[in-house]
Copies of this chain bind each other. A is one copy, B any other.
């Protein structure tokens, strides 16, 4: 079994491919899987928010995750956040049976106090089973739940099956430093810290001690390169590549719009057959599409992978 506590590199957050009519597009999902592997991802996270997970029913969720697990050959983390522990437990059991490396759990947005947050993860860990490795998703901007470094330490220390932090607090650089400080002073056991938030601070997150990224971006190959260059000590080169993409990273990181941008570019890269989101979903206006095309052309001056040729007439 994969030891996620030492996970490094990039776990790509996978979108879910649909046909224009809303059916799951298995061929495109397969291409996505292959593309992530070829891009150098060390893992994939499926059924996250960006995967349109709430629009999938239980059967579809298990089917998509299982197919990806079988195909990928790299560790798959599955998002199992749910309004209640019953659904969380059922989905976890199914995907762990199918070979998932672990599951990711976001806090419900009703949690307020430190104790409520710590209690929630204890209950979740008990519900899914103490042997199932789980990832804390710390994303206050989206969930309105604020976890201090001390609260994360309490969760990590109380639950042997807590193996990783998906760090997407904002701002969050000092939080990484604080958590790594806890490990250093022996007050917290080592876990993997992979960063989300669309990669907007990946350059410095690595320098602060993060193990890499767990996020989506239409160029996961760029994320992989940045993490690698950092590991190799090529600081300036890592920033040069990152900065070249930053205007597009920023554009794609817009809440709500972001997934539409990502699917649009992944279609232009030839990986998705359709950029459709299952309903209800937001599309891009022609103006937004043109803005993305312009950004791609600018990125392409530095990174040829962004040179996707002329847009075909619709």
In this assembly, does A90 line the interface, its C-beta being within 8 Å of a C-beta of chain B? yes
Q: How many A residues face the partner with a CB closer than 8 A?
A: 62
Contact present for B288 and A174 (CB under 8 Å): yes
Asked if B250 and A250 make an inter-chain contact with CB atoms under 8 angstroms apart, the answer reads yes
Q: Main SS of the interface on chain A?
A: helix
Asked if A239 lies at the interface with its beta carbon under 8 angstroms from chain B, I say yes
Q: Which residues of B sit under 8 angstroms from A82, Cβ to Cβ?
A: 54, 83
Contacts of A255 in B (CB 8 A): 170-171
- What residues on B are CB-neighbors of A151 within 8 Å? 113
In the assembled complex, A186 has its CB within 8 A of some CB on chain B: no
Residues of chain B within 8 A of A123, CB atoms compared: 279-280
Q: Which segment of A6-14, A34-42, A56-64, A264-272 sits at the interface?
A: A56-64
- A274 at the A/B interface (Cβ < 8 Å)? no
Is the Cβ of A254 less than 8 Å from the Cβ of B84?
no
Question: What distance in Å separates the Cβ of A146 from its nearest Cβ neighbour in chain B?
Answer: 4
| B residues in contact with A87, CB < 8 Å | 54, 57-58, 87
User: Is the CB of A177 closer than 8 A to any CB of chain B?
Assistant: yes
Give A255 to B141 CA distance when docked, in angstroms.
Answer: 11
Q: Which residue of B lies closest to A142 (CB)?
A: B110
Contact call A243/B247, Cβ cutoff below 8 A:
yes
The answer, yes or no, to whether A309 is at the interface (CB within 8 Å) is: no
Q: Are B84 and A115 in contact (CB under 8 A)?
A: no
A86 to B109, CA, bound (A): 21
* B115→A150 contact, CB < 8 A: yes
Instruction: Tell whether A285 pairs with B84 under 8 Å between CB atoms, given A113-B151, A114-B114.
Output: no
Taking Cβ atoms with an 8 Å cutoff, the residues of A that contact B are: 53-58, 60, 82-87, 89-90, 109-110, 112-116, 119, 123, 126-127, 141, 145-148, 150-151, 170-171, 173-174, 177, 200-201, 203-204, 207-208, 239, 242-243, 246-247, 250-251, 254-257, 279-280, 285, 287-288, 291, 298
4 further interface pairs, Cβ-Cβ under 8 Å (given A123-B279, A141-B141, A170-B254):
A82-B83, A116-B146, A242-B247, A246-B250
Top 7 closest A-B pairs, CB basis?
Answer: A54-B84, A171-B254, A112-B146, A57-B86, A114-B114, A54-B83, A123-B280
Question: Can you report 13 A-B residue pairs in the complex whose CB atoms are below 8 A from each other?
Answer: A54-B83, A55-B85, A55-B86, A60-B86, A87-B87, A113-B146, A113-B148, A114-B115, A115-B148, A116-B146, A123-B279, A173-B288, A250-B250
